[in-house]
Structure 1
Amino acid sequence: MLPVTWDSVLICVSLIVVFIASFTALDTAGRVAVSRGWSARFWLLVGGIAMGIGVWAMHFIGMLAMMMPMMMRYDTRLTILSLLVAILASVLAFGQTVGGLHLTRQRLLSGTLILGAGVVVMHYLGMYALLIEPQPEWNALLVALSVLIAFAASGLALWLAFHLRQGRSSSDADAWAGLSGHGHRHRRYALCRYGGSRVQPQQYDAAARRQ
């Protein structure tokens, strides 16, 4: 199995990015509460886009922080697709939860399912966009656990976003939303390993150059 190390500077950058995105999304949630009509729809769109870009950027910067003794490149189309999935899921989930007058269990559940599914699809699209041979080997049990955590973190973020618009303090909400997303990303990276024990790093370099 190839050794994996992490660029601590990029990890810190990804943490800063997710906190900024969380603040932006949660701040726009408060603006939704005092807006009507097209103005409210505009802020819902802005908040959803901010959340989607933030989640995706945190994930992609985290992937750039991952260092292995091999050439690493990314499929542009899959990378862009993962970004679009994150934005679409975030906009839909944001509108489903923050856009209502009351956050019922049904609205929270549907928003959680949308955002959680979007985060999971975005993550694995991003992982498969990494052009290496062979593809990572996944631990099925831990993958299933990570999916459950993704949905739980998504539900928490949406619940916080709604309650911010009710006038509660945003500082704790920013911290919880940021940490839940950042912590979950690192748990997902622990679910796979790259390469078998009998494959040498030089073989990976040669395979990557042929991509």
Structure 2
Amino acid sequence: MKAKNYIGIIFICTLAISCVTPPDNFPSVPEITFNGVQFVPIPNASDSLIVSVDFRDAEGDLGLNPGDNAPPFNAFNFIRDANGNLITYSNRPPNAPRYNPIDWRINQFVNNVQVMDTIWVENNPDHHNIFVRFFIKRGGNYQEYRWSDPPFFTTFNGRFPRILTEDRARAIEGTIQYGMLSSGWRSIFRNDTIRLDIQIQDRNLNKSNVISTPDFTLDQVTRR
């Protein structure tokens, strides 16, 4: 069963826009607090795990649109050899990872020319603006569940869109609801006690504080 069909699709933002001159207590670096978490079973479709965070920011430079893919928001960088050549899977060095969909990309455009090969890449974390880590609690200890490891080779980090449509700096506060869709939540976590750590980032690459959800099981947060 696939652990993830697609992620970050559900996004709902409610906000209050403050004055252009921000209040003294509005931070320039985004500040977030936990609001809630819900598990929403969806018959004959991917179930949704939705985390909600409240935010405050003095400039309002939060969110990335689909077209925001130029550096520093590019998805990945190409790894090259000492001569500046792309490293393909057929000429990979001994330290290169085995094929997986995170470290290798197929038939990518490089300088507007499509390279019909499998190319070694390094993913750019700044392509995302919301970061989610999963932890399972067993025996009183938390162990991170790393989606990027085998067999999934994926991530639930993602993007939420620009909150303000203009570039004029304004202090804003509100709530972000970030939904993660999967057909495998139940099969993976079952009755496990889970905790999520969440962080967001603004367009100046300022990272917010990290907040944690309370411990929960899927049953405890299921929408009835």
**TM-score > 0.5 by shorter chain:** no
Structure number with greater CO (CA < 8 Å, separation at least 6) is 2
Calculate the TM-score normalised by the size of structure 1: 0.30
Calculate the TM-score normalised by the size of structure 2: 0.29
